[in-house]
Amino acid sequence: MSKFKASTRLTEINAEQIEQLRREYNQISVSKFSLSEAFKQYTLHNRSYVVIAKNSNFDEFSKYNQILANLHTNLSQIKSSDVETNKRINSALRNLIKMKLDVSRLRFKTLEIKTSTKPDFASIINSSLFDDSHSERKKQYTISFTEKEYEGYKSKFANKDFFDLLCAFFNEFAVYEKEFTNPSINLVADNTLAKCGEVANTYVIEKKHSEATIKNILDYLLGTFSEKTHPALINGSAELINFIDGAK
């Protein structure tokens, strides 16, 4: 057990209130509710809110990631007799790596986002403690810290009673749930993208050298795909990405 702790006692009614919050949280989140973790997010990082983000386009983004991976694998095996064309191949490969990074943030079904930014839609869980001062406080609650966390906690709240802080935390803590949909997700099934992938794969398998084929692949990957298709797809998830970035 950590020697860096903060403890208080709560009434039975408030203990039941916390357990009800825990029950509701665990029903919708991919992770179990931890009072210690939530309290430390609040006190040490000013993160009072949790957004349970549902990604309705998980399957499509997984498919898109595989398309990018296949393109990268095949393109990395293509070589040209022309120096400038090889430079373009390397440029396209770098783009594909960056695109896979973009998509990696969107390959989840459900994500728990802790943030200090209050969402502009209604919360589904917000369980303030009751003013139950007439009842005996029997249930003990303890928050354990690492030494570094405890130093940060004491420096911010040296003169603040832990019970008051815990009440303030529950007043502020709220959980939100939202399903995010990308309006541009149909671009994953873009016929030109699919055709480019097929051509690149066939080129590698058949091992037939054709500068014209290489040029056509690169013209698409470095042109329409890099400049319009991929940016439009990622921008379609801008709201979700903003929530993720807001948790930093």
d(CA 111, CA 50): 10
Q: DSSP label at 182?
A: -
Residue 54, token pair as written in the block: 């549902």
**What does the pLDDT look like over 175-228, one tens digit per residue?**
999 999 999 999 999 999 999 999 999 999 998 889 999 999 999 999 999 999
CA angle 91, 93, 98 (to 5 degrees): 95
**Residue bearing tokens 């039941």:** 16
Torsion of CA 239, 47, 13, 177, to 10 degrees: 10
**Residue bearing tokens 């790596």:** 97
**What does the pLDDT look like over 165-175, one tens digit per residue?**
999 999 999 99
Helices (H), 34-190: 35-45, 58-75, 83-104, 147-157, 162-172
Written as one letter, the residue type at 169 is F
Q: 109, 55 in Cβ contact below 8 A? A: yes
At residue 247, the pLDDT reads 64
Q: 67, 122 in Cβ contact below 8 A? A: no
**What does the pLDDT look like over 110-125, one tens digit per residue?**
999 999 989 999 999 9
Strand partners of residue 145: 4
d(CA 182, CA 135): 51
102 phi, psi to nearest 5 deg: -55, -45
Question: To 10 degrees, what angle do helices 162-172 and 35-45 make?
Answer: 90
> Whole-model pTM?
0.84
